[in-house]
Chain A
Amino acid sequence: MKKTIWINRLVDHLIWIVLTLTIVVVALTIDGFFQFNNLSNVLLHGTVLGLLSIAAAMALIGGEMDLSLGVNMGFVGYLVAWISLGKGDVGSGWNLNPILAGLIGVGVGVGIGWVNGSLVTRLKMNSFLVTLGTLIVLGGLTYVINQARTLNGINPVLLVLGGEKTFGVPNSVILTAFAFGIAVIISRFTSGGRRLYAVGSNAVAARAAGIDPGAVKRRMFMVAGGVAGVAGLLIIGELGSAPANVGQGVIFEVFAATVIGGVSLTGGRGSYFDVLGGVLLLSMIANALNLTAIDPFWVEPIRGFIILFAVFLDSQRESLRMWLLKHATSTNQSGSEAA
């Protein structure tokens, strides 16, 4: 019985085994990987990816998809930088207080989530198509705000979250760790978290149990949008500037991290703790490839192959569980017979 519990735990959190093995291989083969500064870089890589993966996992667990998270982040980051800049810095000329600008930005992120959620739940539109539309609209709007010009000279207050450190640890790493902690607590220990799993797993059964799936999903989209907005504040701090194209294309890596972390694309299943494992794995791969001397043209294909391999391992999760359980049972039986 104890053995079965351990096998289930092991398979459920398979990503951590894959991550540990990868760390060992990378540390043994790549010079300079295991330095404090470099490990800090791995975590830094994982901040924006991590926040967006929390948001994407939330939507997937709730049985929906949000493709707009990356451009939501880029839009918010650009907007916040623009409204807090003076005219001379090719900004809006509004010179808005940076903290107020940041709060407006997160509010806009939540608003984008509300629009997505309302279209999906009230008008019964498909979330894949709705958020694909939002992705295109927001990507275009980011260019419209200031005609695609990169914004430099950002107010230093706005760089604190993404670009400064506390006791040697990047603030963005602390914030992302905190966000993962909160996500784990809410998903495991609050009724709101459990409702999201119930709705994502079977909306009809959830409704029968007195849960309003529409309301749960709208809140879910709004929280996801807000988290993407916070990621927007991190990215401008990390770069020290606000490029108009910053969130485009990010969503593919976000989904890869989320799925590698074991979140089901069909809803109702997944753990934020394991999503963290997926985020760390992809961040480490990106970092390791930057440290290797391989031909630059091979970087992207190799990265793709590694992600495919990780997804393959994830897809074999249930087969592995069955094999391990069968093996454990047969060992127990032969043990009993021998006794």
Chain B
Amino acid sequence: MKSFTKKVSLLAVASLLALGLNSTSAQGAGVVIGMSSPSLADAGQQVIAAGVKTWVEKQGWTLIAKNANGVAKDQATQIEALIEQKVSAIIMVPADAAAICAPIAKAGEAGIPIFAIDRLPDGCAVAATVLADNYLAGQDSAKAMVKLLTKKYGSAKGIVLEIQGDMSSITAQDRGNGFDDVIKKYKKITLIKKPTKWTEAEFSKATRDVASAKNVDGIYMHSDCVGSVVVTTALKSINKLFKRGNAKHIFLAGVDGCAATMKVFRDGYFDATSSQALPDFGSVTNLVKIVLDGGKITEGAFSATGSSGPIAGKIKNSAAGPTLALKTIPVTPENVDNTALWGNA
């Protein structure tokens, strides 16, 4: 009888242990996170992937990382493989915002929560998304531009060229609206908007045409990763490229803050950018934890300790699910060498 009780007790303990290992609770090393990057050739994606690894390790979880090498179909296959491996949750940066919906549906059928970072899925919802606050980024760049114009003229006035991205994308709309909402308060600033499809050639042509015919005081580009080199090259070709401090200098501002922009900054030509908090997109793990613990992600302020200090943002519900927009970091010549900025990684 004693032996029987002992056996039953052992069986019960073993069953409880097994249940514990299979549970979706976010406790300890039992949690396995699958991560799918769209392409690790991109410097920004490398920073995001490294950040996710750090945040996952901070939670004491295990990470299985995959790289789709820019092929949406491969990303779908990799996510299916992660589902087969029965991971606790999947974090991914969509290689294709629309094509990702099929694997998202499969993860949903398997009961595995899936999270997006950097880009929203288009046409379906995920458990949560973490990305940069592009509206705030536009606002910060506008405030920097206003400050520069005020310093030049004694009041906020002048002509500013806004080189837009593809205005059918939410990113370009947010970056544009954020900038425009600040600038429109200053009636003496003339804003000239030129749409592009995020291509270098269009950034170059818009700069050359407008800056050679008008006395442009500043240029705001929706993506300085696309524009910083080609815009300065275009300004040079029309003899309008001057360093900061020169009276003829055209102020350059943007959003992104990638390595090429940091070089243009250090060369003395760039004035302000809004750097995305890419290393801390891994803070999505805080949201993963909430979901794995059976909680619900609610709208409101978000804060955490990031890779180099406090990070903050706002969670809002959208068609793609709860979305955490992390604050961007304003970059000026004063803090351009900050090693915490992803462009300096």
Q: Which residues on A are within 8 Å of B, measured CB to CB?
A: 31-33, 35, 37-38, 40-41, 44-45, 143, 146-150, 152, 163, 170, 235, 238-241, 243, 245-246, 286-287, 290-291, 293, 296-297, 299-300
Contact = CB atoms under 8 A, between A and B. Distances in A.
13 contacts: A32-B212, A32-B213, A40-B212, A41-B238, A44-B237, A149-B41, A149-B43, A235-B201, A239-B230, A240-B232, A291-B210, A291-B213, A296-B193
Interface of B: 39, 41-43, 69-70, 164, 167, 192-195, 199-201, 204-206, 208-210, 212-214, 225-226, 229-230, 232-233, 236-238, 260, 263
Contacts of A35: 212-213
Given A147-B69, A148-B70, A296-B194, A287 B209 contact: yes
Nearest to A36: B212
Contacts of A239: 200-201, 204, 229-230, 233
B200 A243 contact: yes
Contacts of A246: 199-201
A245 B260 CA distance: 18
Contact of B194 (A33, A38, A150, A290): A290
B205 A245 contact: no
A45 B42 contact: no
B233 A290 contact: no
Given A241-B200, A286-B205, 4 more contacts: A143-B70, A238-B204, A291-B213, A299-B194
A291 B209 contact: yes
Given A37-B238, A163-B233, A152 B213 contact: no
Contacts of A150: 200, 225-226, 229, 260
At the interface, is chain B mostly helix, strand, loop or mixed?
Answer: helix
Nearest to B237: A163
Contacts of B210: 290-291
A207 to B, nearest CB: 42
Contact of B39 (A147, A286, A296): A147
B210 to A, nearest CB: 6
Given A148-B41, A241-B233, A296 B164 contact: yes
Given A148-B41, A241-B233, A41 B208 contact: yes
Contacts of A32: 212-214
A151 to B, nearest CB: 10
Contacts of A238: 204, 233, 237
Kindly list the 9 A-B residue pairs having the minimum CB-CB distance in the complex, ordered from nearest: A240-B233, A147-B41, A32-B213, A290-B209, A37-B212, A296-B195, A243-B200, A241-B229, A296-B193
Nearest to A240: B233
Contacts of A45: 205
At the interface, is chain A mostly helix, strand, loop or mixed?
Answer: helix
Contacts, number: 98
B230 A240 contact: yes
A170 to B, nearest CB: 7
B39 A148 contact: yes
A293 B192 contact: yes
Nearest to B231: A240
B213 A31 contact: yes
Nearest to A247: B201
Q: Which of A35, A37, A238, A290 has the most CB of B within 10 A?
A: A290
Contacts of A152: 229, 260, 263
Contacts of B204: 238-239
Q: Which of B210, B225, B263 has the most CB of A within 10 A?
A: B210
Contacts of B192: 293
A41 B164 contact: no
B312 to A, nearest CB: 31
A243 B213 contact: no
A20 B209 CA distance: 20
A293 B70 CA distance: 38
A246 to B, nearest CB: 6
A243 B199 CA distance: 8
A218 to B, nearest CB: 31
Given A170-B237, A240-B232, A299-B195, A44 B201 contact: no
Nearest to B200: A243
A143 B260 CA distance: 19
A44 B41 contact: no
Contacts of B208: 41, 44
Contacts of A163: 233, 236-237
Contacts of B42: 147-149
B46 to A, nearest CB: 11
B199 A245 contact: yes
Nearest to A292: B192
Contacts of A297: 167, 195
A38 B205 contact: no
Nearest to B239: A37
Q: Which of A41, A147, A149, A245 has the most CB of B within 10 A?
A: A41
A32 B205 CA distance: 16
Nearest to A39: B212
Contacts of A296: 164, 167, 193-195
